[in-house]
Structure 1
Amino acid sequence: MAVYSVGEIAEKINAQAREIAPDLLPNGRFSPCRTKWMFSGIPDTGKSESAWVHLSGAKIGKWFDMGNAAPGEDKGDILDLLQLKLGLADKRAAIEEAKQRLGLVDDWKPGKPAKLPPEELQRRADEARARAEAREAEAEKERAAKARGAKALYLRGDPIVGSWAERYLMGRGIEAGAKWPGVLRFHSEVYLREEGCKVPAMLAAVYRADGVQIGTHRTFLANEGGRIVKARVDRPKRVLGSVWGGFIPISKGSSGKSMRDMPEGEPVYVTEGIEDALVVRMMMPGARIVAAYSLGNVGAIVLPAAARRLVIVCDRDSNAKAQEQLERSIAQQQARGLDVQLVMPPDEWGGVPIKDINDWWLALKAQGERARQSGDTRGVA
């Protein structure tokens, strides 16, 4: 008698991700190292690459959509992908489809659960555990290799003073004060796949709270008539390495101590992007500030036990997916015992729509400049 559990079927069909993902999502492509299938979400329009399916490692078969996915279409496994792309009625239909693709025939009947002998259950559990351990070992090797490559790129960078990176930040109204954070670097030749060549980029190291560098953030840059701006590509900001749960340390605060040795109860300010974190640094030079590089990652950061309060400096984003990510991140940090507070810019300032704290800072500067030119400096810092 052959009976397969849902978990076993899911594991087997997920292992076929390399063949199934291109079949279901023909407008996608392999990532450069062929470890992911990049696609534009369930509609599969081919117009972006906001989503990907893992094709190897511990997450094989799992997929995520970081774009504006519809509810229920932002993550899942190959079973979910079969259900969504083939228009199947429910998960049971997806399981049957998976069994057909795998060539599995069992004796399972609805409403008549079959019981396997205890020794067979134990054997299957042992095999599943061994496969999981092997995948995790492979994933750990992959993470270590990515971290080494990311760190090597970062170390080849130079201080940003006088570089395109400094000009880019100053063009966003950001000033360094005494000096720029040491975590920021510049490299004039970083490979950009869309262009098929190397272009300038601002680099930032991504760390865990224990001080281990796990990745490198890249902001690709371009010169447009003498102005240094983000490169006009689909994703001008990207991370290299296995960086989930990491952060970019922008300011150690008044204590000057690393995150690992931070003072007891010191608040930690976190922003989504580097530019916002630098604006907060100008406004609050004595604060401890980190950039999470994505809204979803805010909840994944694990702070030291000394941390008590996390202040999330949010973008003003009415998108339902962004709201869900923010709520999830807040819940994750509250579950760790942190007091979570939110700071959000106004939706407009002086008639100018405001998206994030950097936009607000630029609007304030423009207002101040207009006031100085008119001679009315009341309320201008």
Structure 2
Amino acid sequence: MSRQDASDLAHRLGREAEAVCRHYLPAGCRQGNYWQVGDVRGAPGRSMFVRLHQTARGPAGKWSDAATGEYGDLLDVIRETLGLTDFKDVVGEARRFLSLPHPVPEPVLSAGMQDGLPVPSGSPKAARRIFAMAQPIAGTITETYLRNRGITAFNETGALRFHPRCYYRPDETGPTEVHPAMIASVTDLAGRQTGAHRTWLAPDGSDKAPVDLPRKAMGNLLGFGVRFGKAQGLLAAGEGIETVLSVRTVLPRLPSLAALSAGHLGAILFPDGLKRLYILRDRDLAGDRAWDNLIARADAAGIEAIALTPVLGDFNEDLRHLGAVALRTALQDQLHPEDVGRFLAA
């Protein structure tokens, strides 16, 4: 088989990218415009991302693993998940799969209409729509929820909003429910919104909503994040919104980004002129992998990378269980000397 023929076959698989992922990577799940799974062999996890639709970032069917640096197309997925060694067997399996009927998912109007046309569920347009429909967090259940997590610094939190009745479905076939939700805007380096993250909440803001998956993302996420403050030569990056806001509770002027997962953290894009990167680590295997990948990328780009490590599992646990004074003291000992007076809250 020629290289052109293989490329054409990969392109045909890309047109059925979601069906390919559901068939060969069933341990994963859809997150916005990506299928998220542990690795190319189909292990459970969240570090590998398969693009489901063509975007400006590349064609459908391309994948990358933020933990290992591996990348490829859907022919590689078929080869690795089935343990095939002869390429003609990979081609035969791909052609067999493509001969099967695959239903085309119907666009779901979860975020309403835009410009008089349906907005496909999970798209960047749907993400922008749902964020526009939400309201600022001051005095809302979102603020109550964050305060119950020990978070008290709400400066530069325009990326967060509150939606009183946000649709929730556990999967594509389950019944639709309605819960209040915290909506976060995911933006690229130029500040353009590419996605949204939803955290469904209990009606009184005491905790997350009692659903199987209280957090879900939509749109284009890889490389981007939820931003608090503007990076000007310095940035702090962590996995979760609550992790980042916990650090900002005692370092309220620290420009920060929440990447929304360990896999995404390892793949964030660096702003122009970035000189120092603080990595807000989580104490788990996924956090270690994100740290290893991000430190290597920062070193290659000539950026000084410094780890900020929690005492407990993550910085929100430190804030809630040890208190703001203990968190402030622990961070002071880890900051670069130039940044102690610049960012440490009095």
Out of 175, 185, 188, the position equivalent to 1:205 is: 185
What SS does structure 2 have at the residue aligned with 1:230?
coil
The verdict on how the C-alpha distance between 1:211 and 1:289 changes in structure 2, with shifts beyond 3 A counting, is same
Structure 1 residue aligned with 2:2: 4
Residue 345 of structure 2 is aligned to residue 361 of structure 1: no
Within 2, Cα distance between the matches of 1:22 and 1:295? 21
Out of 345, 352, 358, the position equivalent to 2:310 is: 345
Out of 289, 298, 309, the position equivalent to 1:324 is: 289
Out of 82, 86, 89, the position equivalent to 1:86 is: 82
Within 1, Cα distance between the matches of 2:294 and 2:6? 31
What SS does structure 1 have at the residue aligned with 2:123?
helix
Q: Which amino acid aligns with 2:261?
A: S
Out of 182, 196, 202, the position equivalent to 1:216 is: 196
The verdict on how the C-alpha distance between 1:325 and 1:96 changes in structure 2, with shifts beyond 3 A counting, is farther
Within 1, Cα distance between the matches of 2:29 and 2:319? 40
Structure 1 residue aligned with 2:217: 239
Q: Which amino acid aligns with 1:61?
A: G
Q: Give the number of the structure whose alpha-carbon radius of gyration is greater.
A: 1
Within 1, Cα distance between the matches of 2:21 and 2:238? 36
Mark the runs of 5 or more structure 2 residues left unpaired by the alignment: 100-118, 327-345
> Does the aligned pair in 2 maintain the 1:21–1:37 contact within 8 Å?
no
> Does the aligned pair in 2 maintain the 1:80–1:91 contact within 8 Å?
no
Superposed displacement of residue 220, structure 1: 1.5
Q: Which amino acid aligns with 2:316?
A: N
Structure 2 residue aligned with 1:77: 73
Within 2, Cα distance between the matches of 1:233 and 1:44? 25
Farther off after superposition, 205-214 or 276-285 = 205-214
* Structure with more relative contact order (C-alpha pairs < 8 Å, separation 6 or more): 2
Q: Which amino acid aligns with 1:211?
A: G
Structure 1 residue aligned with 2:62: 62
The verdict on how the C-alpha distance between 1:306 and 1:102 changes in structure 2, with shifts beyond 3 A counting, is closer
The verdict on how the C-alpha distance between 1:10 and 1:325 changes in structure 2, with shifts beyond 3 A counting, is farther
Structure 2 residue aligned with 1:310: 277
Task: Report matched runs for 1:276-291 at 5 Å.
Answer: 276-291=243-258
> Does the aligned pair in 2 maintain the 1:299–1:333 contact within 8 Å?
no
Residue 144 of structure 2 is aligned to residue 167 of structure 1: yes
What SS does structure 1 have at the residue aligned with 2:202?
strand
What SS does structure 1 have at the residue aligned with 2:80?
helix
Out of 208, 211, 227, the position equivalent to 1:230 is: 208
> Does the aligned pair in 2 maintain the 1:79–1:91 contact within 8 Å?
no
Structure 1 residue aligned with 2:104: none
- Kindly report structure 1 stretches of 4+ aligned residues shifted beyond 6 Å: 35-45, 47-52, 99-103
Structure 2 residue aligned with 1:185: 161
Superposed displacement of residue 315, structure 1: 0.7
> Does the aligned pair in 2 maintain the 1:203–1:216 contact within 8 Å?
yes
Q: What TM-score, normalized by structure 1, do the two folds share?
A: 0.64
Out of 236, 240, 250, the position equivalent to 1:269 is: 236
Within 2, Cα distance between the matches of 1:220 and 1:94? 42
What SS does structure 2 have at the residue aligned with 1:246?
coil
Superposed displacement of residue 366, structure 1: 9.9
Superposed displacement of residue 337, structure 1: 1.9
The verdict on how the C-alpha distance between 1:247 and 1:101 changes in structure 2, with shifts beyond 3 A counting, is closer
Superposed displacement of residue 361, structure 1: 1.3
What SS does structure 1 have at the residue aligned with 2:199?
strand
Structure 2 residue aligned with 1:336: 301
Q: Which amino acid aligns with 1:287?
A: L
Q: Which amino acid aligns with 1:228?
A: S
Task: Report matched runs for 1:23-34 at 5 Å.
Answer: 24-25=23-24
Within 2, Cα distance between the matches of 1:286 and 1:32? 31
Mark the runs of 5 or more structure 1 residues left unpaired by the alignment: 104-141, 253-257, 347-353, 369-380
Instruction: State the aligned residue count.
Output: 298
What SS does structure 1 have at the residue aligned with 2:137?
coil
> Does the aligned pair in 1 maintain the 2:281–2:287 contact within 8 Å?
no
Out of 12, 16, 24, the position equivalent to 2:13 is: 16
TM-superposition CA deviations, 1:246-284 (whole Å, max 9, x none) = 22222x3xxxxx44xx3xx4x211221111111111211
> Does the aligned pair in 2 maintain the 1:174–1:279 contact within 8 Å?
yes
Farther off after superposition, 205-214 or 22-31 = 22-31
> Does the aligned pair in 2 maintain the 1:310–1:338 contact within 8 Å?
yes
Within 2, Cα distance between the matches of 1:240 and 1:99? 31
> Does the aligned pair in 1 maintain the 2:36–2:49 contact within 8 Å?
yes
Q: Which amino acid aligns with 2:301?
A: R
Q: What TM-score, normalized by structure 2, do the two folds share?
A: 0.69
The verdict on how the C-alpha distance between 1:356 and 1:190 changes in structure 2, with shifts beyond 3 A counting, is same
